[in-house]
Amino acid sequence: MIRNLIILSLGSALINNVVLSQFLGLCPFLGVSKKIKTAFGMGTAVIFVITLSSIVTGLLYEHLLVKFDITYLKTIVFILVIAALVQFVEMFLKRFVPPLYKALGVYLPLITTNCAVLGIALTNVSKDYSLLEGTVNGFATAVGFTIAIVILAGIRKKMQYNDIPKAFRGMPIVLVSAGLMAIAFCGFSGLL
Amino acid sequence: MNNKQDENRSLISDLSERLLNGMLKENPTLVLMLGMCPTLAVTTSAINGLGMGVSTMLVLAMSNLIISLLRKIIPDKIRIPAFIVIIASFVTIVELLMKGYIPSLYSALGLYIPLIVVNCIILGRAESYAYKNPALLSLFDGLGMGMGFTFSLTLIGAIRELLGSGKVFNVYVMPEGFVPVSIFVMAPGAFFVLALLTAIQNKVKEIGERHGKDMSKIQSGCGGNCLACDKSCKVEMIPEEPESNIETEEITETENITETENITETENITETENITETEAIPETGDLSVETEDVKNVKKAVPLAGFLARFKEKFEKRSEGSEKKSEAKPEKNKKKSEDGDKERKKSDSKSENARKEKSEKVREESESLREEPETVEEKDENIEVKEEPANEAVDPSSDTEISEDSGNNGPETETDPEADGKTEEKSPEVYNDQTLTEEPSDPETEQTKETGENTDSFESKDVTETPNASEMSEKTETPVADITDDQDEMEIWDISAYKRAIKREIPSGKRPGKKKKAMEKAQKMLNSALEAGKEDNND
């Protein structure tokens, strides 16, 4: 059981990395990766939201959608639930856990439209994960996201000192480095 | 009869204009760089790209149509959730249809079909076009955008498929000896193809700007503007419809997202900077002569401008929903507290002058590109102007900067409120003041300016450099910073600074606390300086 969960989390964190092989959450990956600190903040917020949304959507799917046989509505339900959840979490943190809100507050609204959140909720459903598996999967995927974004931020920091062809400055060179990272992450497929 | 024919003709031309707009002028993938997630994920082959494009087009066209039909029924405050529900419904319909009739494509696209919901193109068009325009036009707008999206996805898919497997649409086209570069159909290849595309885009933008065309619509990559996907789209539409800016603010406020509002604004700023940066390089010929210190100052001063603006933003918010008209007296009050009435006068006068000139400027219809620079410069110059009156000019530029960031909130208050165009001329007001160091004599300066046109700041700076080197450094700063800073103006960093400053700078203006806050601000700026040093390598 635990072994399965470990394998599952390794798979979703490293082998099928959410950004580098599934291209979900690409926008924050490219946009928030200029400093390691902000990248880490974003990663933490993503871990928080994705884990929470995995639990909530998992519960909803099991106890509402399946029960009433309306699973075809999952896309609509999930996107609304996620949007509402992020808002609610933001308000809750602001009111009751101010330090955490200070750390994550800015990132939370931006995650609403992050396709990784919806993507993971849908993956959990399509792969018939149990609630626990789904939560672990969500958590591990988000950890994978954090790993990738922090590494990219580090690379970009080093890259500032390099002489880059003019047309490749800015986004193109970042995309090239992301591509190289993706090649490196392909190597993890021999892990299991 | 003729009238009717004319109407028909104009309608048809409108509709075809919409189609062309989506396909060429505002091509969502190749020009606006929106919806990158599906673009990268599904373009492993041309047929997949085509399938994804067509399904997105269907959703886009239908949701545009329905939203446009319902635009008078949907209440303003809950329109985003309403849009999402409408879009999600059509996505579900398309998903079920595809599952039923093209199962092979469905299994190839898989997860990415439901993820059309979060594609920023769709929500962006709903918000910026369909919600404001009649049904038929919206339908065609959606079709045009969708066709542009389909075209670019198919193109990217074809390139990847050709390089990765030697086929296009599953037909082998490459010569016998071709060895497929299979990495291009794998995940990393997507990044490389997109990198090439954005590089080409950068080049096109640069060439276009050299020929004096307005390339502001071209975005340099998804990362700069696609953070909050739906928000970014609204920001992008600002050049067309200035009102939409106000609307985004409204939305964010109603949703209780206080932070995003600022973020969208910073996005704005960073975007505009990106636009100007390539432009500025050839103009500042004397860049290479400058020392490291100069560059560092350049690095820091615009940051101070940002900081000041953010602080001002926060103050505004804390004061509640004050309107423009109320904000200005407030500002004057603060100044009179300083006991510097002359400056106040000069400021108000220069404001008037600014307004007058702005009308002229509009007539001249200057290109958009010039605005951001001047906006920046204005901030700088305000700060510069501030110092001789308040306290002795501090030789070490760093401390000045920190003081600016601490003090100058109220002074810059009008900046964001002023019309984008009104700011165009204003820099010269301050410019002259700073250079001649006669803040108390605004009238002569203004007359001087009216004589001068919006001709280059650079030339002026160059001539003044020997006289007042410090000042000229500062006035030059924005341009140079923009060239240097390119993508370093991280909106996240700025929002981090903003938050830090919000924490640091106390609302009660006790001197001890203020000093502390200034020290901290200076520390932050120093770290920013260090981060920026790498540009000296250029």
Provide the chain B residues 518-537 that lie in CB contact (below 8 A) with chain A: 531, 534-535, 537
Instruction: Give the whole-angstrom CA distance, residue A3 versus residue A10.
Output: 11
Cα separation, B51 vs B150, whole angstroms: 8
Nearest by CB to B199, from A109, A113, A167: name it: A167
State the nearest Cα–Cα gap between A95 and chain B, in angstroms.
13
Would the CB atoms of B263 and A106 count as touching at under 8 Å? yes
Tokens 């600014």 identify what position?
B354
Q: Measured between CB atoms, which of B91, B111, B199 is closest to A119?
A: B111
Query: What is the value of ipTM here, to two decimals?
Result: 0.88
Could you please report the per-residue DSSP string of B508-534?
S--HHHHHHHHHHHHHHHHHHHHHHGG
For B170, residues 6+ apart whose C-beta sits below 8 A from its C-beta are B45, B47
CB A152 within 8 A of CB A181: yes
DSSP secondary-structure letter at B369?
A: T
Instruction: Establish if A6 belongs to a structural domain.
Output: no
Nearest chain A alpha carbon to B230: A113
User: Is residue A54 one of the residues assigned to a domain?
Assistant: yes
Which amino acid would we find at residue B124? G
Report the gap between the CA of B257 and the closest CA in chain A (Å): 7
Is the four-CA dihedral B413, B416, B422, B428 of positive or negative sign?
A: positive
In a domain, residue A4? The reply is no
- What tokens does A130 get? 């149990």
Report whether B337 contacts B527 (CB < 8 A).
no
Work out the minimum CA distance from B488 to partner chain A, whole angstroms: 8
The residues facing B168 across adjacent strands are: B171
Cβ atoms of residues B346 and B439 within 8 Å: yes
Assigned domain for A3 exists: no
Nearest CB neighbour to A115, from listed B84, B118, B227: B118
Sign of CA dihedral B317, B318, B323, B327: negative
Subunit contact B198:A80, Cβ cutoff 8 A: no
Q: How far is B210 from chain A (nearest CA, A)?
A: 14
What is the per-residue pLDDT for B93? 93
- The closest CB to that of B228, out of A33, A34, A109, belongs to A109
Interval A74-128: pLDDT, tens: 888 998 888 888 888 888 888 888 887 877 767 777 776 678 888 899 999 988 8
CB contact at 8 A, A120 and A56: no
Give the distance from residue A26's alpha carbon to the nearest chain B alpha carbon, in angstroms: 6
Q: Do B194 and A175 touch (CB under 8 A)?
A: yes
CA distance A118 to B87: 14
What torsion, rounded to 10 degrees, do the Cα atoms B311, B313, B319, B321 define? -170
Q: What is the extent of the structural domain holding A106?
A: 13-190
Mean pLDDT of A147-156: 92
pLDDT at position A155, please?
A: 92
Whether A124 is in a domain gets the answer yes
pTM (2 d.p.): 0.57
> What span, in angstroms and rounded, lies between the C-alpha atoms of B47 and B155?
10
Give dist(CA A146, CA A150) in Å, integer.
6
| CB proximity B496 to A under 8 Å | yes
Gap between the Cα atoms of B197 and B222, Å rounded:
12
Query: What span, in angstroms and rounded, lies between the C-alpha atoms of B205 and B275?
Result: 9
Give the residues across from B171 on adjacent strands: B168
State the DSSP string of B141-206.
HHHHHHHHHHHHHHHHHHHHHHHHHSEETTEE-S-TTPPP-GGGGSHHHHHHHHHHHHHHHHHHHH
| Per-residue CA distances from B260 to B358, B417, B491 (Å) | 30, 18, 11
| pLDDT attached to residue B261 | 39
Least confident of A60-69, A135-144, B447-456: B447-456
A169/B117 Cβ within 8 A? no
Test A169 with B537 for CB contact under 8 angstroms: no
Residue B462 CB burial class (10 angstroms; 0-12, 13-18, ≥19): middle
Q: Would residue A7 count as lying in a domain? A: no
Say how far apart CA B482 and CA B287 lie, in whole Å: 12
B158 and B169 Cβ atoms separated by less than 8 Å? yes
Cβ B234 vs Cβ B264: under 8 Å: yes
Inter-residue contact B274 to A107 (CB < 8 Å): no
B191/A80 touch (CB, cutoff 8 Å), yes or no: no
Question: Please, what's the b/e burial string for A151-174 (b: 16 or more CB within 10 A of its CB; e: otherwise)?
Answer: bbbebbbebbeeeeeebbbbbbbb
The secondary element (H helix, E strand) that includes residue A66 is: none
> Whole-angstrom Cα distance, residue A20 to residue A184?
10
Choose from A78, A79, A126, A186 for mutation: most chain B CBs within 10 A.
Answer: A79
- Which pLDDT score, from 0 to 100, does residue B494 have? 59
The tokens for A159 are 């890259």
Assess contact for B41 and A23: CB atoms under 8 A: yes
Q: Closest by alpha carbon to A36, among A142, A150, A143?
A: A150
**Inter-chain touch B228–A110, beta carbons under 8 Å:** yes
**Nearest CA-CA distance, residue B189 and chain A, Å:** 7
Q: Which amino acid, one-letter code, is at B371?
A: E
Contact check, Cβ <8 Å, A175/B198 = yes
Give the count of beta carbons closer than 10 Å to the beta carbon of residue B454: 17
A27-62 tens-digit pLDDT: 788 878 888 888 888 888 888 889 999 999 999 998
Mean pLDDT within A163-182: 87
In a domain, A5, yes or no: no
Instruction: Residue B191: list chain A partners with CB under 8 A.
Output: 175-176, 178-179, 182
Q: What is the pLDDT of residue B216?
A: 62
Q: Tell me, yes or no, if B189 comes closer than 8 A to chain A by beta carbon.
A: yes
How far apart, in whole angstroms, are the C-alpha atoms of residue B262 and residue B249? 9
Is residue A93 situated within a structural domain? yes
For chain B, what are the domain ranges?
Answer: 2-205, 273-537
- Spans of chain B, pLDDT less than 50: 220-307, 321-349, 358-492, 508-509, 537-538
C-beta neighbour count of B161 within 10 angstroms: 26
Q: Which of A115, A151, A177, A185 to mutate to test the interface with B (most CBs of B within 10 A)?
A: A115
Number of domains in chain A: 1
Predicted confidence at residue B319, as pLDDT, reads: 53
